[in-house]
Chain A
Amino acid sequence: MANTREEPGKENDNKRELKDAWKFFSSMKMGIILLLVITAMSVYGSLLPHAEAMDRVYTSWWFVGTLVLIALNLLVCSLNRWGGIWEKATVVRDDLNYKTLQSYQNQQSLAIPGETEEKAAKIRDFLLQKGYRVGTTSRDKGFLVSGDKGRFGYFGSLVTHLSIILLLLAGLYGIVGGYEDFDGGFPGRILPVENEDFQVRIDDFYISYRDDAQKSIEQYYSELTVIENGRTVKQETIYVNKPLRYKGVNFYQSTYGWGVETNITNTATGEEENVLIIPGRTFYHNETDIHLHLIEFYPDFTMTTGGMPVSRSAYPANPFVAYRLTGAQGVIGTPFQLAAVGDRLELDDNYMLQFSGYRNYTGLLIVRNPGKSLALLASILMIAGLVMSFYFFPRRVWAYLGEETDGKVLITGQSYRNKVGFQMEFDRLISALKNKLGV
């Protein structure tokens, strides 16, 4: 075997390299590097326009790949640390010698009256009373009482790290198992819901305006009914910040828009035709062979000083319509005509055109995200883990009596996490102990 050590085979070398690489990959240093890498990528993404960033950064293989690496690094690192943490949390260290104890920052020598055993018992009782877990070991003509508290804190970072892995899984699950859809319509419409055995009917949509000068919008409301197997199973009014939730599918009030009620009358017969046209769409009138293109609807029409038509507010105080008529010979009149709602216009010699009214339609975002509950659970775990890490900080105290201490008891304390806080606590602990023992 000595041979192989002197001339390490290629295989062994590879093994060692692999082992070193694995060790590095699962280290905290690697974790920090990965965190800095994902930070740099996110900064880059945040500087791009949102849609582009979604496309080119946040869903790219290198971004998602880095997230996966973080999850793996965390998983391996947590598994590696598990044994050590478990041992720390379950075993009170009692193998310390005088030299080590003396090196700790917090210490105090006390002359406590009584027999050796008596002293140990007094200190033990005191620490127990203060909520410490205590173990006593006999030492060379003396003792070592070891106590610890805040053990819970050892698991904090583990819980936090686990929660990050869960959070990434929740995000993945949401993307793989969910969908996002956009739909809507005028009241009366029944929306089919993809892959679900229920439908949603839009019963009403309305906007509440404030009574201020701008007639600002207070809220948008859609009244929805869920219909399953022909039966009404749920009825709700949704608004921004209050979606309808049914069987894991959520309906959000997302936008709204206008439809213009248009009336075309045959002047000879008095026959009427009513259609609802959405801005941007074209209606073809068969009898006259005219295309009516509805360019824009202005709820609160005015002209800017530059002569541009605009809407002052979203409130229909002065509703106007911009439209264009195209006949067989091309555009009729000017390509951009304006009319107030209610105006009676001539379509041709036999037909009258009137924009008689307007109605709102609602725009709903329909989302299914099965990863949501897991994400919430992970968030709660993360907060619990952080509280454990930061506020259940582990601390240890020892009371030692031995040859070196000259009959006195050396009390020392150590906390890795909260040095200044523990120093204060240690001082309080010592004065309480002195008080109790009357020294």
Chain B
Amino acid sequence: MGNIIYWETTFFNITFAAYVIATLLYFYFLLSSRGNGGSWASRLALTGLVTHTVAIILRTIEAGRAPLSNQFEFANVFAWGIVLCYLFIEWRYRYKYRVFGAFVMPLAFVVIGYASLLPKDIRPLMPALQSVWLTIHVSTAIFAYGAFTIACGLAIMYLYRASKERQGTVGIILQKFPSLDVLDDFGYKAIAFGFLFQTLLIVTGAIWGEQAWGRYWGWDPKETWSLITWIIYAVYLHARFTRGWSGKTTAWFAIIGFICVLFTYIGVNMWLPGLHSYV
């Protein structure tokens, strides 16, 4: 038993280090004139993802359940989801858009950094949390939030590029950026994927809520904030269709949406306790 905890901690620490170094290498890749270090950044991120997966599996064995039921456990899989979604995109587009890494990995690093500050002890689950729907519910959150994080990184890139283009100062950094259209398109795809999973998140949460508390929707602060997040991204999707709303406006919505994600996950627990406050 103690041994498993030791190994989980070790793998978690290795993961943390790998993400930090990967982040630095992505920065180096971004700033170096010849674009060096990119493949090493990817390799380290992948190494981190593998050790992260091992740490999560060890914790599952240790706890005897899916490790998805408190703040630490969720922050942990949240970071895992970001890196997984990110590396998937990198691989899917044949490493052509590695520059995204410099904007996404820092966010993954912040989330796992937050996780590392939280108490990691494994507590038994209170009765309401003992449900397969909880596992499904939180699993969908991993993908929704992972994709929204990536969309936020892309939106920052978009705004950066847009402002530099207006000033007419295209330096070595911008040369590695894809065009505004491509950034916008990737951001849209990430949000579409995230939106689908956010919908699943709300629906599975409703099914769980119905079984546990007798109502599928109760305006609990966490529920309400997940709805707010969902609507903000719905506005993003529509704003993209409406002429007169520039790409910059929609990029801002992608960032506001991500702030809502973080608020739903962290802020609600701190300031707006409700039934969900133990998650």
Contacts and interface: CB of A to CB of B under 8 A. Distances in A.
B231 A35 contact: yes
B124 A32 contact: no
A112 interface: no
A431 interface: no
Given A28-B238, A386-B196, A243 B214 contact: yes
Contacts of B131: 241
A45 B239 contact: no
B185 to A, nearest CB: 4
Of B127, B181, B211, B234, chain A has the most CB atoms within 10 Å of the CB of B127
Interface string A197-220: 000000000000010100011111
B235 A36 contact: yes
Contacts of A43: 228
Contact of A372 (B133, B210, B224): B210
Given A379-B206, A386-B195, A38 B231 contact: yes
A338 interface: no
A254 interface: yes
Nearest to B184: A419
Contacts of B232: 39
A171 interface: yes
B196 A219 contact: no
A241 B225 contact: no
Contact of B228 (A46, A53, A210): A46
Contacts of B181: 419
Contacts of A42: 224, 227-228, 231
Contact of A45 (B207, B216, B224, B241): B224
A37 to B, nearest CB: 10
B58 interface: no
Contact of A383 (B199, B210, B214, B217): B199
B165 interface: no
Interface string A239-261: 11111000000101110000000
Contact of B239 (A32, A38, A218, A419): A32
B193 A390 contact: yes
Contact of B235 (A32, A240, A418): A32
B182 to A, nearest CB: 6
Interface string A367-401: 10100100110010011001101100000000000
A240 B185 contact: no
Interface in A53-108: 53-54, 58
B228 A39 contact: yes
Contact of A390 (B192, B203, B214, B219): B192
Of A36, A54, A218, A379, chain B has the most CB atoms within 10 Å of the CB of A379
B181 to A, nearest CB: 7
Nearest to A387: B196
Contacts of B274: 50
B272 interface: yes
A79 to B, nearest CB: 18
Contacts of B227: 42
B221 interface: yes
Contacts of A250: 214
Nearest to B217: A171
A47 interface: yes
Interface string A214-229: 0011111000000000
A15 to B, nearest CB: 27
B212 interface: yes
A414 to B, nearest CB: 14
A241 B125 CA distance: 13
A253 B227 CA distance: 27
B33 interface: no
Given A28-B242, A46-B272, A243-B214, A383 B203 contact: yes
Q: How large is the interface on B (under 10, 10 to 19, 20 to 34, 35 or more residues)?
A: 35 or more
A35 B127 contact: no
Contact of B219 (A50, A220, A387): A50
A220 B272 CA distance: 27
B186 interface: yes
Nearest to B196: A386
A303 interface: no
Contacts of A53: 219
A171 B215 CA distance: 11
A175 to B, nearest CB: 11
A218 B189 contact: no
B118 interface: no
B189 A242 contact: no
Interface in A331-353: none
B112 to A, nearest CB: 28
B127 A379 contact: no
Contact of B182 (A54, A58, A389, A420): A420
A118 interface: no
Given A46-B228, A47-B272, A218 B214 contact: no
Contact of B126 (A28, A217, A379): A217
A240 B214 contact: no
B94 to A, nearest CB: 9
Contacts of A367: 214-215
Contacts of A171: 217
A31 B215 CA distance: 28
Contacts of B239: 32
Contacts of B235: 32, 35-36, 39
A29 interface: yes
B219 A54 contact: yes
Interface of A: 28-29, 31-32, 35-36, 38-39, 42-43, 45-47, 50, 53-54, 58, 171, 180, 210, 212, 216-220, 239-243, 250, 252-254, 365, 367, 369, 372, 375-376, 379, 382-383, 386-387, 389-390, 418-421
Q: Which 3 A-B pairs have the closest CB atoms?
A: A240-B127, A390-B192, A252-B214
Given A50-B220, A242-B211, 19 more contacts: A32-B239, A38-B231, A42-B228, A45-B219, A47-B272, A180-B214, A180-B215, A216-B124, A218-B127, A220-B127, A241-B212, A243-B214, A252-B212, A254-B214, A376-B207, A382-B203, A383-B196, A386-B192, A418-B185
29 contacts: A31-B238, A32-B238, A32-B242, A39-B231, A45-B219, A46-B268, A47-B272, A50-B219, A58-B219, A180-B215, A212-B124, A218-B127, A239-B127, A241-B127, A241-B131, A241-B212, A252-B213, A253-B127, A375-B216, A379-B206, A383-B196, A383-B200, A386-B195, A386-B196, A390-B192, A390-B195, A390-B196, A420-B189, A421-B189
